[in-house]
Structure 1
Amino acid sequence: MSRRIQIIVVALAVGFTLSACGSEKGSSGADAGTTVTESPKDTKGTKGTKGNSMDMQEAAERADGMLDAVLKKIDPEVQWAHGPTTKGSCDVTRRRTVMTIVSADRRVTFLDQVEKFWRTSDYRIKAKNDDAVFPAVYAVTKDGFGISVSVRAKGQVFLEADTPCVKESKVADSASKPNGPDYQGVYPLPSPNVRSDYWSAGTS
């Protein structure tokens, strides 16, 4: 009887040891399958990321570059001026106003050129307004910058670039030079007043 009790005790002890080893392996295996969170330096430009290493000035410069790039792709060239820069709690909006008269007959063509460039630049088209009078296209980049082109009152075309949430900092005026009068200190800007043989076709 005593011999049987000893065998049972030994068996139970071995079982507990094996169980403990299995638990350790299970814990180690769980670590291997866990998704690793990106470090702050890897999330630069990600919308809403508090660890974003870009500040408002850097983000504004990136927005300027996006606006410069699309305006350079408009063919034939249009004249533009800076719109006001606005700052939110953690984001910046840069604006450009087209001073060339774009006739109702040419508005769709203008927006098509913009949309085509954004698609080839790997921007995602978020929304479109196909209104015949006030069409618009809205896009977003992979790093969380928003950009849009829209036709508003008197057929004037506006472009805006919005930054994601970034670190707070001072924001300087845009270094991009308009290809016409800069209208510094003038707001609101005048209605479109530059004629183009192509873009203004059909207007009196």
Structure 2
Amino acid sequence: MQAAAERSDAILDAVLREIRPELRWTHGPTTVGSCDVSRRRVVMTEISAERRGSLLGVVDRFWRESGYRMTVVNNDAEFPAIYARTSDGFGVRLRIGGEGQAFFQVDTPCVRESEVADSTSRATAPLYEGAEFIPRPNIHSDFWSAKGG
């Protein structure tokens, strides 16, 4: 499980490095199932309705170029989402929630049980103790938060 969690962090780190201008994010909760792990990143940058399509486009293109197979594309105007699968069976997703908050998640395939340490990836926004009560996005970006064409 630890190795799978580290692979999940690498997947999340790679996609977030690809997005320019940079999004500010914090760790969401890590959950451990009977044989799988889910890692989450919560974007704290405000993403305007006008910029959501741009964000999903960048992520979709990067995942396709990385050899991921797109499994679901939800083009909902308010709450769009994309889901994909890596060649080694990791499920990845980006979904837009309330107030344009973006959520990245990686779900591992079934792996051998072990302890799972917290992610060592350095968040670019403040951390929230326990990651249970993360506020709505509260960091302005001249690009990502822009309204209008």
User: Structure 1 length normalisation: TM-score?
Assistant: 0.71
Shift of 1:185: 2.5
Select 1:120's aligned residue among 65, 68, 92.
65
Could you say which residue in structure 1 is the equivalent of 2:3?
58
Whose helix fraction is larger, Structure 1's or Structure 2's? 1
SS state of the match for residue 57, structure 2?
helix
Kindly indicate whether structure 1 or structure 2 has the higher relative contact order, using CA contacts under 8 Å at least 6 residues apart: 2
Q: CA RMSD in A?
A: 1.0
1:135 aligns with 2:135: no
Shift of 1:178: 0.4
Select 1:67's aligned residue among 6, 9, 12.
12
Over 4 Å off, 4+ runs: none
Amino acid in structure 1 at the alignment position of 2:16: L
Shift of 1:186: 4.3
Whose strand fraction is larger, Structure 1's or Structure 2's? 2
User: Which is higher, the Rg of structure 1 or of structure 2?
Assistant: 1
Could you say which residue in structure 2 is the equivalent of 1:171?
116
Alignment deviations for residues 106-159 of structure 1 (CA, whole Å, 9 cap, x no partner): 001000000000011000001100001000000001110000000011211000
For residues 115 and 127 of structure 1, what CA distance do their matches in structure 2 show? Answer: 11
User: Structure 2 length normalisation: TM-score?
Assistant: 0.97
For residues 74 and 90 of structure 1, what CA distance do their matches in structure 2 show? Answer: 31
SS state of the match for residue 116, structure 2?
coil
1:184 aligns with 2:125: no
For residues 96 and 150 of structure 1, what CA distance do their matches in structure 2 show? Answer: 11
Amino acid in structure 1 at the alignment position of 2:137: P
Gaps in structure 1 of 5+ consecutive residues: 1-55
Could you say which residue in structure 1 is the equivalent of 2:55?
110
Shift of 1:184: 3.0
Amino acid in structure 1 at the alignment position of 2:81: A
